[in-house]
Amino acid sequence: MDSNKINAQVERFKKGFPWLDIVAPATIGNGIMALDARQADEAVAYARKAETQGRCKFVPASGAASRMFKDIFKGMETPNDAVRKLADGLERFAFYRPDVFGKAPYDPQETARLLLTDAGLGYGAKPKGVLAFHRYPDEIRTALAEHFVEGQAYMRNADGSVKIVVTISPEHRDLFEAAVAEIRERYERRYGVRYDVQFTCQDKETDTLAVDMENRPFRKNDGTLLTRPAGHGALIYNLDHLEDELVSIKNIDNVCVERMQETTWYWKQVLMGKALELRDRIFGYLYAYDQLTSLRTHQADFAFIPACGMVPDDPYATEECQALCNEIEDFLRDELCIRMPEAKDCRDRAQALRAKLDRPIRVCGMVRNLGEPGGGPFIIRDRDGSTSLQILESVQINPDDPAAVQALQGATHFNPVDLVCCTRNYKGGKFKLLEHVDEEAGFISNKSFEGRDLKALELPGLWNGAMSDWNTLFVEVPIETFNPVKTVLDLLRDAHQN
């Protein structure tokens, strides 16, 4: 890392990030759309018939599963409830093998050791995507395998292919390639598809500096500077490299057994349909706008027109253009919670509205908040004075601002990382996604390394600040579509048992 980058990041630690200006939590009828059965079916039908320039399933799967086994690691040294529950339920886990673990009764500490270390399965150093998640009568499936099953159900391209892009750490590539090789041909025959699987790694150039608690560059015991992966926000670079127009994003651990997947398949298509409906409506407005404003070629700068009075040669001041602007402004307000600041004249108004339309699109599933972790949906005021829908993490909300705390307490939903994105403009070109990142929406977190406390710099999150300048729609989806495996004991839940 060069000295300029080091100095800039140290200054960021000192300066911090601004708190976001929260207008209100997004709730049903005020930022979150709740669909009835007919509307949901119509969205699914739209997803199936709409044309796209390629469809892709994007699965963040970087990093080892060490956090999944945090309590098990502790219990390996000193027995705790986690390792006792692990041992008691051992034969219900898909990774149970009598040749590794032996037969009941199982010693909790020994069970933990055989699960996590190279004396047994070595799961403590492997990525979640290749761990045995689900047991079926004829096979054991990894989390990655369940994404293959999901992909064939709702993400097929017109040529029968299913494109799956998985973000991985370079040191895990061999494990992922082996996991794919084990299932690819069998699943292609079973489901009548062709899988196009690609692996992508987080660019090391996006790593950020760590500092000590006094904001000095953190040095490891060997004297070298410590840099760290900058969170999932760095994956916007990977997403930007995709050429596919319609991209579904879902975390590697958010899967369930196939008998429960139909609900997930259905609602993923609902989100896809709403994204494509939104795309086509916006494209229609942009086409109409460009047609109207290009009818006249006079390019002189017009004087200020206080009440949008008519100027014969000004395409922005025509009745037709202003009527279209009225419709666009109503659409942005009513559908996307975007309220525009007051414009100085007709041209300023029209161009500002067009700029709001001509952006990437994301439709985010929102589930009722039942205590699970996840970013929350809010309406915020942007720096340009407009409002927008955003997904915020608790660390972005000022705990000393009573209004912000009240908004946080009033939130009814959270985002389970269930998104559908449209990344092309109405002329077919690809948006430059890095131009739509809010660099002020990152955050600083506290970590430790070699037994010492440190501060880590997180880039604007992939579904937070990295997509801050996108047109956003929130849609309520059933809690049944959210089945994360944050700890190994989550695999004992019904969604992961056959």
Q: What is the pLDDT of residues 68-95, one digit of tens each?
A: 999 999 999 999 999 999 999 999 999 9
What pLDDT is attached to residue 305?
Answer: 45
Q: Using an 8 Å Cβ cutoff, are 202 and 60 in contact?
A: no
Report how far residue 310's alpha carbon sits from residue 299's, in angstroms, rounded to the nearest whole number. 16
- As a whole number, mean pLDDT of residues 490-495 equals 97
What pLDDT is attached to residue 11?
Answer: 92
- As a whole number, mean pLDDT of residues 458-477 equals 93
What pLDDT is attached to residue 28?
Answer: 97
How many Cα atoms occupy the beta-carbon half-sphere of 94 within 13 Å? Answer: 25
Cβ neighbour number for residue 299 with a 10 Å cutoff: 7
Q: Is 406 left (phi over 0), alpha (psi -120 to 50) or beta?
A: alpha
Residue the block writes with tokens 């196939």: 258
Q: Inform me whether the pLDDT recorded for 299 exceeds 70.
A: no
The pair of three-digit structure tokens given for residue 349, joined into one six-digit string:
């108004």
What pLDDT is attached to residue 256?
Answer: 97
Q: Using an 8 Å Cβ cutoff, are 418 and 482 in contact?
A: yes
Q: For the purposes of burial, counting CB atoms within 10 Å of the CB of 86, is it exposed (0-12), middle (13-18) or buried (19 or more)? A: buried
Q: Inform me whether the pLDDT recorded for 313 exceeds 80.
A: no
Higher pLDDT, 305 or 118: 118
- As a whole number, mean pLDDT of residues 388-392 equals 94
Confidence of residue 371 (pLDDT cuts 50, 70, 90): low
Confidence of residue 309 (pLDDT cuts 50, 70, 90): very low
Amino acid at position 87, single letter:
A
The pair of three-digit structure tokens given for residue 433, joined into one six-digit string:
């996604």
How many Cα atoms occupy the beta-carbon half-sphere of 361 within 13 Å? Answer: 27
What pLDDT is attached to residue 206?
Answer: 83
Report how far residue 69's alpha carbon sits from residue 57's, in angstroms, rounded to the nearest whole number. 27
Amino acid at position 170, single letter:
P
What pLDDT is attached to residue 373?
Answer: 54
- As a whole number, mean pLDDT of residues 225-237 equals 86
- As a whole number, mean pLDDT of residues 460-487 equals 94
Q: Inform me whether the pLDDT recorded for 491 exceeds 90.
A: yes
Percent of the chain with pLDDT over 70: 95
3-state SS string over the chain? CCHHHHHHHHHHHHHCCCCCEEEEECEECEEEECCCHHHHHHHHHHHHHCCCCCEEEEEECCCCCHHHHHHHHHHHHCCCHHHHHHHHCHHHCCCCCHHHHCCCCCCHHHHHHHHHCCCCCCHHHCCHHHCEEEECCCCEEEHHHHHHHHHHHHCECCCCEEEEEEEECHHHHHHHHHHHHHHHHHHHHHHCCEEEEEEEECCHHHCEEEECCCCCECECCCCCECEECCCHHHHHHHHHCCCCCEEEEECCCCCCCHHHHHHHHHHHHHHHHHHHHHHHHHHHHHHHHHHHHCCCCCCCCCCCCCCCCCCCCCHHHCHHHHHHHHHHHHHHHHHHCCCCCCCCCHHHHHHHHHHHHCCCEEEEEEEECCCCCCEEEEEEECCCCCEEEEEECHHHCCCCCHHHHHHHHCCCEEECCEEEEECECCCCCECCHHHHCCHHHCEEEEEEECCEEEEEEECCCCCCHHHCCCEEEEEECCHHHCCCCCCHHHHHCHHHCC
Q: Using an 8 Å Cβ cutoff, are 147 and 59 in contact?
A: yes
Task: Supply the mean pLDDT for the chain.
Answer: 92
Q: Inform me whether the pLDDT recorded for 311 exceeds 80.
A: no
Q: Using an 8 Å Cβ cutoff, are 248 and 419 in contact?
A: yes
What pLDDT is attached to residue 306?
Answer: 46
Higher pLDDT, 26 or 312: 26
Q: Inform me whether the pLDDT recorded for 114 exceeds 50.
A: yes
pLDDT tens digits, one per residue of 319-361 = 999 999 999 999 999 999 999 999 999 999 999 999 999 999 9
- As a whole number, mean pLDDT of residues 468-487 equals 96
Q: Using an 8 Å Cβ cutoff, are 86 and 112 in contact?
A: yes
Strand partners, 447: 454
Phi, psi of 357 (to 5 degrees): -70, -40
Cβ neighbour number for residue 326 with a 10 Å cutoff: 12
Strand partners, 199: 166
* Distance from chain centroid for Cα 87: 34
Phi, psi of 110 (to 5 degrees): -70, -35
Q: Which of 111-125, 404-418, 435-449 has the highest average model confidence (pLDDT)?
A: 111-125
- What are the C-alpha distances in Å from 493 to residues 257, 263, 484? 11, 17, 10
What pLDDT is attached to residue 3?
Answer: 85
Domains of the chain with bracketed CATH? 18-65+126-284+356-496 (3.90.550.10), 66-125 (no CATH)
The pair of three-digit structure tokens given for residue 168, joined into one six-digit string:
């991985």
